[in-house]
Every structure is written in structure tokens, then in C-alpha cells.
Amino acid sequence: MLNKIHNAIDELYPEMVEIRRYLHQHPELSFQETKTAQYIADFYEQLGIPYQTNVGGKGVVATLKGAKPGKTVALRADFDALPIQDEKDVPYKSKIPGVMHACGHDGHTATLLILAKAMKQFQGELAGTIVFLHQHAEEYAPGGAKPMIEDGAIRLVDAVFGTHLWATTPLGKLQIAKDVMMAGADRFEIVVQGKGGHGAYPHETKDAIVIASQLVTELQQIVSRRLDPLETAVVTVGIFHAGNAFNIIADSAEISGTVRYLNTDVQKKVIEEMKKIIKGVCLANDVTCDFTYSKGYPPLVNHKREASLVMEAGKHIKQIDAIEEVKPFMAGEDFAYYLIEKPGAYFFTGAMKEGHTYPHHHPKFDFDERAMATAAKTLIGAYSAFQDKK
């Protein structure tokens, strides 16, 4: 049956591209995806596939029950965009100022919708049940996965699979890990409250910029000097706000950034060391510091057997010429929550566009649309392999 499904996906590929380009022109930010959710619901309405809306917020969940008994497998696609101005010179450029699909979620949605349409044709031959998870708000914590799970989206599911169209990986390559695939991703903010004054009289002030700069430098030593070199972590300061005039010493400064890690022991260690550093620097400079640490998505940990099923499925897809078992990526992804609850796996589908090297979250981001058909075939291949799993 897989060959017939693959052929159906190929036949529906032009519509897949059409859907992706429509969504690319009409992006919506996380937690604001009202029209996108309606578009998805309308698609399933036309297919005659039962669906639920407002799952965990703006999520849409459709269910296709096969005529034959079998397991229930969920396939997930996210559909939110980013607050980025689209700078590509293409006919399908975003029509919404300052909002853009700069991570491929439009492609994920098109992939899953057309896969559902292809599978509907073979419902009489289908074993088990497919749950199509259309998830809102992946880009912005607390994300859409957790509330959808809490709303029962995968309660009856036996396994869950997902993919990301990865624009920095060559077309035709499938990447996956049999353990940790992506990092946990947290956020922190530090506000230094000093004492401002005239730039000519620094001795009468407590310079928040200098003190915050000390913090930036000290925080970098957590990874280089306070963690086991065999452990993996990232501490990045991405924002530094202070001052409003060249000759005034700022009384306050704000820095914020991200922490990435692969296991919770390292996460705990980083938090402990941050607290020590902040307390010490602020005490030494006789200022107050307000530290806020927000835990985000946990590490994404694939299940070994399900990851192996994805790899096996990839061997039967002619568009895949390389299957690579990879080391963890330090980017974060809330698909991690599904894998805490159920067996499953997440993988990258190579989608690099020839001559186009812009990464994810870049204003000129784009991907090779042929990767969508490959992703659809791999997802349904994983579903089929799971049905056959003993």
C-alpha cells in the first residue's frame, strides 16, 4: 500500500505547494493563529475527516480511522510564524508586515494536510488510526504542545512522530538521533539597579553598565570553567539594554539570554552557578540585582525503537539518498513534551534550497518545497512501520 500512497502524494504535490505558498503569504504569530486554524479545519471539513478545533488553545486535531484494526499513531505539524519582516523576492512573499514563516511551519502544515488527503483515498485499506496534530505556538514558550496534551490530544495515541523541514541540511538527507535530538531551552533576565550620575564624576555613581558587563563576562565562565568539559551547555546573552545619553552613567541595565542543555543535572548546575555569580558581582559592587529564570522546553529525547522505525522507513523512499544518525542540536522544540508522554521520534527532513544558504529565522529564509513530499512519505512510512512493530 505504501507505493500507492507515495504515488498519491506525488500526484497531490502541486496542491501541497499551493497550500504552502498561501500560508506563507498569510502568516500569524504564536497564539494568534485564528485564520490559519480555520483554514486547517476547513480543509478537513472538505475531506470529510472528523476534527476538533480549539484543542489546548488554537490547536486542530483530525482523526482518520482505518477500516482494519491497528494502533493509533499521531503525526504532528506546527503552524505559527515569527515576528520577522520577509525580505525574499518571491511571488509568495508574506503579505503581513513584520510577520513571516521563517522556520518552515507553513511547509509542515502543507505536508500534513496533503498526507491526510492522500490517506483518505485509502481509508478502506488502512490499518489503525492516524491522528493529525496541527499545533499552534511552537515558537514561543510555553508553546502549544503542552496545553494540547493536557486537553487530551494524544490520550489514546500509541506513538507520535514529527518532522522538521531543515533548510541547512541537503535535500534528500534524513537526520535523526536515537536518544537526545534537541536541547532544553530556557530564558533568563537580569536587571542591575545601580546609581546613575554625570559621566564626569564616576566615583559618585554605581555604574550599571560596567557591572552588567562584568556579569556578561562572568556568565561565560560557567560553561568554560564550572561544568564538566564532557557535558554540553550554552549560556548566551542576547540582549543588553542600558543608558540613554553619552555623558550620563546609567543607573540600571538589563541583560537577558538563553540557556541550552541536554540533561537536567546540567540545567540545575547552570542555574546554581548563575545565582552565585549574580549575587557575588552585585554584592561586590553594592548594587541590587533582580534575576528571573524561566524554564522553557525540555530536551527532545527520541525513543530508540521508534527512531529506528523512521530510519527503516527512509530506506524505502527513493527521494532519500542518505540517512544520518546525528548528535544533538542545541535548538529547542516543544515536540519534546509529546515524547515525554508517548513513544515516538522526531527527525529532520533535508530541505536545503540550491544557492540559498539562509538559515532558519532569517528574513530571507526559504526551503526546497520538494522536501515536503519526502517528509510526508517518511511520516506515513513510520506510521506503517509502527503498525507492523511486534
Which grid cell sits at 217?
A: 563576562
Task: Give the active site residues.
Answer: 80, 138
Model confidence at 389, in pLDDT bands (50, 70, 90)? confident
Q: d(Cα 55, Cα 136) in Å, to the nearest integer?
A: 9
* pLDDT at 1 (0 to 100): 84
pLDDT at 348 over 90: yes
- Strands of 344-350's sheet, edge to edge? 51-55, 59-65, 127-135, 68-78, 159-166, 344-350, 173-176, 322-325
pLDDT at 378 over 70: yes
CB-based burial label for 328 (10 Å; 0-12, 13-18, 19+): middle
CB 71 within 8 A of CB 156: no
Model confidence pLDDT, tens digit, residues 180-220: 999 999 999 999 999 999 999 999 999 999 999 999 999 99
* pLDDT at 263 (0 to 100): 96
Q: What is the mean pLDDT of the chain?
A: 97
Model confidence pLDDT, tens digit, residues 42-71: 999 999 999 999 999 999 999 999 999 999
Q: Which residues pair with 252 in a beta bridge?
A: 193
pLDDT at 390 over 70: no
Q: In the 3-class helix/strand/coil scheme, how is the chain assigned residue by residue?
A: CHHHHHHHHHHCHHHHHHHHHHHHHCCCECCCCHHHHHHHHHHHHHHCCCEEEEECCCEEEEEEECCEEEEEEEEEEECCEECCCCCCCCCCCCCCCCCECCCCHHHHHHHHHHHHHHHHCCHHHCEEEEEEEEECCCCCCCCCHHHHHHCCCCCCCCEEEEEEEECCCCCCEEEECCCEEECEEEEEEEEEECECEECCCHHHCECHHHHHHHHHHHHHHHHHHHCCCCCCEEEEEEEEEECCCCCEECCEEEEEEEEEECCHHHHHHHHHHHHHHHHHHHHHCCCEEEEEEEEEECCEECCHHHHHHHHHHHCCCCCCCEEEECCCECCCCCCHHHHHHCCEEEEEEECCECCECCCCCCCCCCCCCHHHHHHHHHHHHHHHHHHHCC
**Of residues 390 and 94, which shows the higher confidence score?**
94
Q: d(Cα 55, Cα 339) in Å, to the nearest integer?
A: 18
Class of domain 2-182+299-388: alpha beta
Instruction: Compute the average pLDDT of residues 255-271.
Output: 98
* pLDDT at 186 (0 to 100): 98
pLDDT at 167 over 90: yes
Cell 527520541 sits on residue = 302
Q: d(Cα 134, Cα 112) in Å, to the nearest integer?
A: 8
Flag whether 139 is marked binding. yes
pLDDT > 90 in the chain, percent: 99
Q: d(Cα 175, Cα 5) in Å, to the nearest integer?
A: 23
Q: Which residues pair with 180 in a beta bridge?
A: 301
- The rounded radius of gyration (Å) of the Cα atoms in the chain is 23
pTM for the predicted model, two decimal places: 0.96
Q: d(Cα 113, Cα 250) in Å, to the nearest integer?
A: 53
**Which sequence spans correspond to the domains of the chain?**
2-182+299-388, 184-296
Give the architecture (CATH level 2) of 184-296. Answer: 2-Layer Sandwich (3.30)
CB atoms within 10 A of CB 21: 18
Flag whether 361 is marked binding. yes
pLDDT at 29 over 70: yes
Which grid cell sits at 239?
A: 540582549
End-to-end CA distance of the chain: 19
Flag whether 103 is marked binding. yes
Model confidence pLDDT, tens digit, residues 84-143: 999 999 999 999 999 999 999 999 999 999 999 999 999 999 999 999 999 999 999 999
Model confidence pLDDT, tens digit, residues 320-335: 999 999 999 999 999 9
* pLDDT at 97 (0 to 100): 98
